[in-house]
Amino acid sequence: MTPLPWHRAVLQQLLAVRERMPHAVLVQGREGIGKLDFARALAAGALCESPRAGLACGECPSCHWFSQGNHPDFREIVPEAAQEEEEGGEAESPKGEKAKSVFVKIEQIRDVADFISLTTHRAGYRVLLIHPAESMLPAAANALLKTLEEPPPHTMIVLVSGQPARLLPTIRSRCRAVTLVPPPRAEALAWLREQGIGGAESALATAGGAPLLARDLAEPGEAALRKKILDELARGVGDVPAFAASLEKGALGRFLFWMQTWVHDLVRVRVAGSPRHHVEYAKALQSRARGADLERLLALDRELVEARRLASHPLNPRLVAEHLLMAYNRAFVSEHRESRA
């Protein structure tokens, strides 16, 4: 697996001396910078039988098995719902079937007990990858902790998390933390252009400097959703229930992202005079910011942070959207009108 360009140096440091590789790594950082790509490249490098400068060679039997997804010394654990999405399954379970879990359950951790304890197939390393690590239920986290406390030899456990504070402190303390950051702007733009992304500068600004997120947000369907949401926020949401109902099922996460970045830009315009994410909406943001209550915007931002944290839970998307949109509208009630009420 070829690592992303901005990850190579950190990967080489971790994989340089195979006898000193950490038994547990916590890969953490913001959305859209390639945490999972990094973790998989780390796993490939640890399993490779002919590494080059510490990285996977891409040619040995181990690398071929890894690229085909059937390496006997590699396991990847994700929530059942995420696994179904990756495999192209239906978003909803058929009637009568139990909905797929959005959490990593204790059974999944117990199922890899033999994998962790038995001799490796290739007489090298074994790697267990868990993501997102914060989705582990408490019982699953405690089951994993037992392995972290007494790690078997030649074993690497890699956790990937965008919210490491939600992990047990005892788990964090037993991992080497690797905090990834967005690449320099020039490097990110060069990579986006290599991927054939049109309007790379605008896409990168929208994603706050995160190149993989910029690539995803440039997809036609995502661009259309963004325009729909931002146009409505720019003019003020007239019919909140109707607009909330118009959002497609499963779009709650992106709705929260676009609304949060819009609110961030409103705050920036009020305080610093210029937006960060939605530069092409600068005039609309300036117009809206003039009539906004800064304290209410900041309170709404806190609500959006919490809503995004809970977005994977079985919430009612329409009700969540309605609540946040009404809070957004209230942020534009002038102090003069409030004082007369």
For the chain, how many helices (H) and strands (E)?
Answer: 18, 5
Residue spans of alpha helices (H) in the chain:
8-15, 35-47, 61-68, 80-86, 106-110, 113-117, 138-149, 169-173, 185-194, 200-206, 211-217, 220-235, 240-246, 252-271, 282-290, 294-309, 317-330, 335-340
Residue 169: pLDDT above 50?
yes
Rounded mean pLDDT, 118-142: 91
Whether residues 24 and 156 fall in one domain: yes
pLDDT at 174: 95
What is the tens place of the pLDDT at every residue in 192-229?
Answer: 999 999 888 888 988 889 999 999 988 888 889 999 99
Distances (CA, A) of 212 to 2, 36, 204: 15, 11, 9
Claim to verify: residue 223 and residue 282 sit in the same structural domain:
yes
Looking at 179, 204, 239, the residue that finishes a domain is: 179
pLDDT at 326 over 70: yes
Cα Rg of the chain, angstroms: 23
What b/e sequence results for 1-12 when a residue is b if at least 16 CB atoms lie within 10 Å of its CB, and e otherwise? bebbebbeebbe
Helix (H, G, I), strand (E, B), or coil: what is residue 155?
strand
> Is residue 180 very low, low, confident or very high in pLDDT (cuts 50, 70, 90)?
very high
CA atoms of 146 and 132, how far apart (whole Å): 19
Same domain, 171 and 242: no
**Could you check whether the bond before residue 183 is cis, i.e. omega within 30 degrees of 0?**
no
Q: What integer pLDDT is reported at residue 94 of this predicted model?
A: 47
Domain stops at, among 179, 198, 229: 179
Residue whose tokens read 């118009």: 246
Contact 218, 199 (CB under 8 A): yes
End-to-end CA distance of the chain: 63
Assign 89 a pLDDT band (cuts: 50, 70, 90).
Answer: very low
Do 18 and 143 belong together in one domain?
Answer: yes
Tens digit of pLDDT for each residue in 244-299?
A: 999 877 788 889 999 999 999 999 999 988 898 898 899 999 999 988 999 999 99
Query: In this structure, is residue 289 part of a structural domain?
Result: yes
CATH code, domain with 291: 1.20.272.10
Q: Does residue 189 carry a pLDDT above 80?
A: yes
Kindly report the CATH number assigned to the domain that includes residue 83: 3.40.50.300
Kindly state whether residue 252 falls inside one of the protein's structural domains: yes
Nearest C-alpha neighbor of 162 from the set 137, 131, 140: 131
How long is the chain? 341
pLDDT of residue 314 exceeding 60: no
What is the spatial distance between Cα 88 and Cα 215, in angstroms, rounded to a whole number? Answer: 20
Whether residue 69 is found in the same domain as residue 152: yes
pTM: 0.81
Whole-number mean pLDDT of the chain?
Answer: 88
What percentage of the chain carries pLDDT values higher than 70?
Answer: 90
Cα angle: 99, vertex 30, 156; to 5 degrees: 75
With a pLDDT cut of 90, the percent of the chain lying above it is 62
156, 127 Cβ separation under 8 angstroms:
yes
Asked whether the predicted pLDDT for residue 17 surpasses 90, the reply is no
What is the reported pLDDT for 301?
93
For residue 322, is pLDDT > 70? yes
For residue 245, the enclosing domain spans 219-340
